[in-house]
Amino acid sequence: MNNEVEHDDLEEEQKHEHHHFVASSGQDPLRVDKYLMNFIENATRSKIQQGIKEGAVTVNGALVKSNYKVKPLDDIRVSFDHPPHESLLVAEDIPLDIVYEDDHLVVVNKPPGMVVHPGHGNYSGTLINALIHHFENLPNNSSNRPGLVHRIDKDTSGLLVVAKTEESMAYLSAQFAAKTSEREYIAIVWGNFNESKGTVEGNIGRHPKNRLQNTVWLGDDADKGKVAVTHYSVEEDFGYVTVINCRLETGRTHQIRVHMKFIGHTLFNDERYGGDRILKGTNFTKYKQFVDNCFKVLPRQALHARTLGFKHPHTKEWMSFTSDVPQDMVECIDKWRTYATNSKDM
């Protein structure tokens, strides 16, 4: 049966491309609707199938049906009649936790659950929507995102610096690129460490089969990723989980999450990387109930951008900021601390 249907060039010209994927050279045959579920965030299979039925998906320039099997190096594009929402920024009156502000920059403390910039499935309620409401004429970065010097993930909380002028954008961005800024995170990870501190080095790039994940590339495949270095030290060891401090030397997407999984210490309750299930501990029912309670207290990956340091773009003075660990992480750590103490007393 032929899964490809006739391609209408005229109609395609009127569409706007929202996604573009090229299947890896090792791609196993997989239905295109299932393939896209791994690559488009917040998309359900029924929505993807509806989009395919409406002619939104092409493979190698041809419209396909949902049961088309993706093959190695297939060129897959998802297009709609409207432009991508993330290119249409709307100011929204969203409260901001401003830690510091002057004429050149703003330091904000982002809560967990807030997306930094509009993207697929998150077109409003983002930090940028809030920023363009509170501040006028923010400079665009290289990706045309107003004010953003760097970013952190949706479910990661903590500190971000925002540029208010073109000069500040250039100066701050150069510091991050030169690795002279300071960024330290606190995380809860599965397992315990044999050493009190260490360094993870491994190039990070897109996962070959799941576009929503990144992975470490080594050896002959190292050029598929970008250089990434994370320094870590143990703060508290609870046996089954450990609280660590991570200092970033580079700033790759999901860097701490990817590096910690790479060394066998996936972040606690990190759903995307498999930390939302028990990876260390016992089979006792009471332990499973305890972990489930911890997941409920902290319904996100256990990661907080605690410290941020950089040279001020105008005064050239060193500035350093610290954000308190948010309540959900504090409660989770307290639970594990109590559990570890009681286990020793038994």
- Sorted by sequence, the CB contacts under 8 Å of residue 175 that are 6+ apart come out as 181, 310, 311
Helices assigned H by DSSP within the chain? 9-13, 32-37, 45-53, 127-134, 166-178, 255-262, 285-297, 327-345
Question: Are 143 and 212 contained in the same domain?
Answer: no
Tokens representing residue 271 in the block: 């759903």
Q: Domain ends where: 144, 178, 212?
A: 178
> Helix, strand, or coil here: 241?
strand
- Sorted by sequence, the CB contacts under 8 Å of residue 47 that are 6+ apart come out as none
- Strands 303-311, 157-163: parallel, antiparallel or unpaired by DSSP? parallel
Question: Are 340 and 196 contained in the same domain?
Answer: yes
Question: Are 187 and 174 contained in the same domain?
Answer: no
Question: Are 322 and 206 contained in the same domain?
Answer: yes
Q: Is the pLDDT reported for residue 283 higher than 80? A: yes
Q: What is the CATH number of the domain that holds 114?
A: 3.30.2350.10
Of all residues in the chain, the percent with pLDDT exceeding 70 is 91
Residue pLDDT, tens place only, 210-229 = 878 999 999 999 999 999 99
Residue 153: active-site member: yes
CA distances in angstroms from 344 to 44, 240, 334, 339, listed in the order given: 45, 13, 16, 9
Q: What pLDDT, on a 0 to 100 scale, did the predictor assign at position 180?
A: 95
Q: Is the pLDDT reported for residue 150 higher than 80? A: yes
* CA–CA gap between residue 148 and residue 59 (Å, rounded): 34
pTM strictly above 0.85: no
Q: What is the CATH number of the domain that holds 24?
A: 3.10.290.10
Q: Domain ends where: 142, 161, 178?
A: 178
Give the total number of structural domains in the chain. 3
Question: Are 202 and 332 contained in the same domain?
Answer: yes
Domain of 33? 4-83
- Sorted by sequence, the CB contacts under 8 Å of residue 303 that are 6+ apart come out as 153, 155, 156, 157, 185, 186, 187, 256, 257, 267, 270
Q: Is the pLDDT reported for residue 12 higher than 50? A: no
Residue pLDDT, tens place only, 101-141 = 999 999 999 999 999 987 766 678 999 999 999 999 999 88
Question: Are 71 and 194 contained in the same domain?
Answer: no
Q: What pLDDT, on a 0 to 100 scale, did the predictor assign at position 124?
A: 81
Question: Are 306 and 193 contained in the same domain?
Answer: yes
Q: What pLDDT, on a 0 to 100 scale, did the predictor assign at position 39?
A: 82
* Catalytic entry in 8, 9, 33, 153: 153
DSSP bridge partners of 107:
100, 161
Q: Domain ends where: 130, 158, 178?
A: 178
Residue, of 144 and 224, whose pLDDT is higher: 224
Q: How many CB atoms lie within 10 A of CB 54?
A: 11
Whether the CB-CB separation of 128 and 146 falls below 8 Å is answered with: yes
Residue pLDDT, tens place only, 164-194 = 999 999 999 999 999 999 999 999 999 999 9
Residue pLDDT, tens place only, 17-62 = 778 889 888 889 999 999 998 888 777 888 899 889 888 899 998 8
